[in-house]
């Protein structure tokens, strides 16, 4: 099938999506983005920067940092992590007109190679932003596991557009909205408006399958400082006073649990109580009833701070940090103010804890200052978990004409401190491109070059990130516990194949073996009847994933 016909097929797919948007009611001009030439005319890969690895020797999961355009990174993750991501949290540009959101419009890239900032009065403002978000959320949907969930922070500037966009991508039956109270009562003044203080932001929640996804109950992270006291010096520690009775006026003598109680001061209190008299007396005997300092107050139940009950998550998020506290905690960790508008760790921890398991994979492809990585590390410490985070951000961000090093100057230094503090590790990768032709016209030489450079992609796909052996014919990777391996024979020539198979057989562990092949399947007699070894091929399966992403499949 010719390149022209396949490109026509792609255009038809775009038109179908356009018709769907119009039928749904969300219409915008789909503005081509600069990266489209890169990803369609070259082959994206990930390359490790070994000197930036953050080592750990305790066998815990190694986390992943990716520097580069998040669309390029998501393209690679579409091969390595399809159906594997459990939780996604992103804090994208809010498109306020002054937040530094830049769009690399393919049509005018020669004049603005770094893209153009999008002011509030730009007629393409919403179209730029929706084109930007739609391309990335389309990829993320296929990364989600069966019960995967995406949390997207946003404010009033794009909430309406984003909600409709998410409806169209995930299905409106798979979308919910949470509200985060971002300003505490005592956190100072907000920007003056003529109407009211704007104290909230939104979090749009997108599910792979909402009806099969359940959030966990949790112990609240609220600040109990003012609620829990210990006025009678109870050795069990601070407690709050729980109401256990109806008022005297509302109590009914014929109602349930209506009886009289004598306080330590001798006062008789008669009313309806929350539980039978026998249970009241049992609690009183255990010193769990408090009568006030005078011994004559209305009895209350002592609810100790270490006996908190789990609560069901709510759609209104309060007392989970504020915009101000997030800036302070980052400044305290790093020693200076290095990033504007971070989210508080407590907020993201809350989302992670209620939506993840202890071994979940958490992705943030607008990683910014790295808050999500810290939230994952702290969550693991809290419940002895082994969650893995994948953080993606570019390095050069231009705001008001100034270039900021986001990954190398902010995210990486923060994560380096965090993972060492919590005794884990991280690998550092950069997006890169190989080949000289488009995916459609990839030559045999392009395919050979992809096979020669796919090692890191394959290691990431198998979560075996430690390179232990490499030569001009093969590579060997292992996980942190030396319980799982990935072996890659990337040459068509078989000069070292016997040596390679001998090494793999000696491992006697679960091993994914990748061999060069011009097709999708390959039989290797040397590994017949070895259950621990699974044979896979390169590079064709990688190319097929990329073709599907760009609607260039010949199927």
- Taking only the tens of pLDDT, the chain with its 555 residues reads 555 666 676 667 666 665 555 555 666 666 666 656 565 667 899 999 999 999 876 666 789 999 999 999 999 999 999 999 999 999 998 887 655 565 555 444 444 445 555 555 565 677 888 988 999 999 999 999 999 999 999 999 899 999 999 999 999 999 999 999 987 655 555 555 567 778 899 999 999 999 989 998 876 655 555 678 999 999 999 999 999 999 999 999 999 999 999 999 999 999 999 999 999 999 999 999 999 999 999 999 999 987 877 778 899 998 887 777 777 777 776 665 655 667 899 999 999 999 999 999 999 999 988 999 999 999 999 999 999 999 999 987 655 556 678 899 889 999 999 988 888 899 999 999 998 877 777 889 999 999 999 999 999 999 999 999 999 999 999 998 889 999 999 999 999 999 999 999 999 999 999 999 988 777 777 787 788 999 999 999 998 888 888 764 444
Instruction: Report the relative pairing of strands 396-399 and 402-405 from DSSP bridges.
Output: antiparallel
Q: What is the CATH number of domain 54-215+311-431?
A: 3.40.50.150
Return d(Cα 99, Cα 293) in angstroms, integer: 54
pLDDT for the residue numbered 546: 86
Return d(Cα 461, Cα 313) in angstroms, integer: 33
33 with 175: CB under 8 angstroms?
A: no
Among residues 158, 44, 139, the alpha carbon closest in space to that of 101 is found at 158
Residue found by looking up tokens 């232990």 in the block: 468
Phi and psi, residue 364, nearest 5°: -135, 110
* Cross-sheet strand order for the sheet of 239-243: 239-243, 300-304, 289-290
Q: Where along the chain do its domains lie?
A: 54-215+311-431, 221-306, 442-548
Residue found by looking up tokens 């393919």 in the block: 106
Chain-centre distance of CA 493, in angstroms?
Answer: 41
479 with 459: CB under 8 angstroms?
A: no
Return d(Cα 150, Cα 132) in angstroms, integer: 17
pLDDT for the residue numbered 399: 52
Among residues 363, 478, 353, the alpha carbon closest in space to that of 83 is found at 363
Residue 24's alpha-carbon distances to 82, 162, 166, 171, 420, in angstroms, are: 27, 13, 12, 11, 48
In eight-state DSSP terms, residue 234 is -
Instruction: Report the relative pairing of strands 144-154 and 239-243 from DSSP bridges.
Output: unpaired
181 with 199: CB under 8 angstroms?
A: yes
Q: What is the largest CA-CA distance in the chain?
A: 96
Among residues 160, 186, 195, the alpha carbon closest in space to that of 175 is found at 160
323 with 258: CB under 8 angstroms?
A: no
Phi and psi, residue 80, nearest 5°: -80, -30
Residue found by looking up tokens 């380096």 in the block: 416
Helices (H) and strands (E) in the chain, counts: 15, 24
Q: What does the block give as tokens for 397?
A: 């961000």
pLDDT for the residue numbered 110: 42
Return d(Cα 539, Cα 555) in angstroms, integer: 18
Task: Answer positive or negative: Cα dihedral of 193, 196, 200, 201.
Answer: negative
């Amino acid at each position: 099938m010719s390149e022209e016909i396949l490109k026509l097929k792609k255009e038809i797919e775009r038109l179908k999506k356009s018709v769907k948007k119009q039928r749904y009611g969300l219409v915008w001009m789909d503005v081509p983005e600069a990266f489209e030439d890169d990803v369609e005319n070259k082959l994206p890969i990930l390359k490790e920067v070994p000197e930036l690895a953050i080592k750990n020797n305790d066998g815990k999961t190694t986390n992943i940092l990716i520097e580069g355009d998040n669309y390029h990174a998501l393209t690679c993750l579409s091969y390595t992590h399809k159906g594997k991501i459990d939780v996604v949290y992103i804090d994208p540009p809010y498109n306020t007109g002054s937040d530094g959101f830049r769009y690399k419009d393919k049509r005018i890239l020669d004049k603005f190679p770094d893209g153009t900032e999008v002011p509030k009065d730009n007629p393409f403002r919403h179209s730029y932003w929706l084109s930007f978000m739609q391309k990335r959320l389309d990829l993320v949907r296929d990364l989600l596991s069966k019960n995967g969930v995406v949390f997207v922070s946003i404010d009033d500037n794009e909430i309406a557009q984003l909600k409709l966009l998410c409806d169209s991508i995930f299905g409106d039956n798979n979308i919910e909205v949470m509200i985060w109270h971002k300003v505490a009562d005592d956190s100072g003044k907000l920007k003056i408006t003529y109407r009211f203080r704007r104290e909230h932001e939104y979090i749009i929640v997108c599910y792979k399958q909402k009806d099969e996804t359940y959030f966990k109950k949790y112990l609240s992270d609220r600040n109990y400082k003012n609620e829990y006291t210990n006025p009678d010096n109870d050795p069990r520690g601070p407690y709050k006073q729980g109401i256990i009775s109806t008022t005297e006026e509302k109590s009914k003598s014929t109602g349930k649990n209506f009886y009289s109680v004598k306080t330590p001061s001798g006062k008789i209190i008669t009313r309806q109580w929350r539980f039978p008299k026998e249970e009241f007396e049992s609690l009183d005997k255990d010193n769990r009833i408090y009568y006030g300092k005078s011994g004559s107050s209305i009895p209350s139940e002592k609810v100790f701070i270490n006996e908190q009950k789990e609560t069901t998550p709510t759609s209104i998020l309060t007392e989970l940090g504020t915009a101000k506290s997030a800036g302070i905690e980052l400044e305290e960790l790093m020693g200076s103010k290095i990033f504007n508008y971070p989210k508080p760790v407590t907020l993201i921890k809350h989302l992670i804890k209620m939506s993840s398991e202890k071994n979940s994979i958490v992705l943030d492809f607008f990683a910014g200052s790295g808050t999500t990585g810290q939230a994952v590390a702290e969550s693991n410490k809290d419940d002895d978990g082994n969650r893995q985070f994948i953080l993606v951000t570019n390095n050069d961000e231009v705001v008001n004409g100034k270039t900021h090093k986001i990954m190398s100057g902010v995210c990486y230094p923060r994560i380096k401190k965090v993972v060492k503090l919590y005794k884990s590790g991280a690998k550092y990768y950069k997006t890169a491109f190989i080949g000289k032709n488009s995916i459609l016209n990839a030559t045999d030489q392009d395919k050979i070059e992809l096979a020669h450079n796919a090692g890191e992609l394959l290691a990431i796909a198998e979560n075996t990130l430690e390179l232990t052996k490499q030569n001009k014919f093969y590579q060997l990777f292992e996980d942190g516990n030396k319980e799982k391996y990935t072996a890659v024979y990337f040459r068509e020539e078989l000069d070292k194949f016997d040596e390679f198979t001998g090494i793999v057989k000696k491992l006697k562990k679960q091993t994914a073996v990748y061999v060069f092949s011009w097709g999708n399947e390959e039989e290797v007699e040397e590994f017949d009847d070895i259950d621990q070894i699974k044979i896979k091929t390169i590079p064709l399966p990688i190319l097929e994933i990329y073709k599907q992403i760009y609607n260039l499949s010949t199927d």
